[in-house]
Amino acid sequence: MEPSDDVLIKAHLQGDGAAFGELVRRHGDSLMGYLMRLCKDRHQAEDMFQESFSRAYQKAGLFKGRSSFKTWLYTIATNIVTDFYRKQGGRPQTVSLNQTQKTCDGKNCTEALMPLTVHTNKTENPMETASLTEQKAQVQQALGQLPERQRTTVVLAYYQGLSYKEVAQVMGCSLGTVKTQMFRALRTLATLLPEVAGGEL
């Protein structure tokens, strides 16, 4: 059985040089996918990826196990993104959520497809495939129109698979605030995407 993230953190703090590398391997792809959805381009995402794990490495002693390592890592990454764009005086531009992007495991970068889920039924019908592609583009554009906190909430909950409680921890807000942000985001998306809203984002 593989050691838990908590065990790996403790091993890292005790001087195990391989322990933190295993955490990067486990969570690297997921974190890079998250950053790619929030940043303007891949290079910025890669810089923030390195900064996120660097801070986690340096501040591992502050991890108290009150949340999962993944949630703690996403909190660090979200703060880095927020601080960066606050200093830039603007919000991230919309990036493609279904294009081929680079994801990293700390040692190597591989090409991986990060699909945007819209109507999950797979099909080989060219007409249906074209319609699905158009729907993905519509959802991508609509997400870009959401306020930053609503967009981050949707990305964390839908695309990264965090629970509302975990989203609240990452964003440093109450569970009620997350629910409110999600309600407002879905209401806006339903207005912007009347034909897609009946399916899944």
Residues with Cβ within 8 Å of 36's Cβ and at least 6 positions away in sequence, in order, are 42, 45, 95, 101, 103, 114
The answer to whether residues 80 and 122 belong to one domain is: no
Q: Give the pLDDT score at 124.
A: 53
Length of the chain: 201
The answer to whether residues 65 and 14 belong to one domain is: yes
Q: Give the pLDDT score at 96.
A: 40
How many CB atoms within 10 Å of residue 21?
A: 17
Q: Which of 149, 173, 157, 27 is nearest to 85 (CA)?
A: 149
Among 90, 115, 140, residue at a domain's last position: 115
Domains held by the chain: number: 2
Residue 109: phi and psi, rounded to 5, are: -110, 135
The answer to whether residues 34 and 75 belong to one domain is: yes
Q: Give the pLDDT score at 74.
A: 96
The answer to whether residues 106 and 121 belong to one domain is: no
Domain CATH code at residue 156: 1.10.10.10
Confidence (pTM): 0.71
The answer to whether residues 43 and 140 belong to one domain is: no
The answer to whether residues 105 and 155 belong to one domain is: no
Q: Give the pLDDT score at 192.
A: 83
Q: How far, in Å, CA of 104 to CA of 126, rounded?
A: 32
Q: Give the pLDDT score at 58.
A: 94
* 200 found inside a domain: no
Q: Give the pLDDT score at 40.
A: 66
Q: Give the pLDDT score at 53.
A: 96
Q: How far, in Å, CA of 144 to CA of 185, rounded?
A: 11
Helices assigned H by DSSP within 108-156: 126-144, 148-154
The answer to whether residues 69 and 104 belong to one domain is: yes
Six token digits for residue 65:
């196990």
The answer to whether residues 61 and 90 belong to one domain is: yes
Q: Give the pLDDT score at 136.
A: 67
pLDDT by residue for the chain (201 residues), tens only, comes to 889 999 999 999 999 989 999 999 999 999 998 998 887 678 999 999 999 999 999 999 999 877 899 999 999 999 999 898 888 775 554 444 443 333 334 333 323 223 333 333 444 565 555 555 666 667 777 887 888 889 899 999 988 999 999 999 999 999 999 999 999 998 988 888 875 544 555
Q: How far, in Å, CA of 61 to CA of 53, rounded?
A: 14
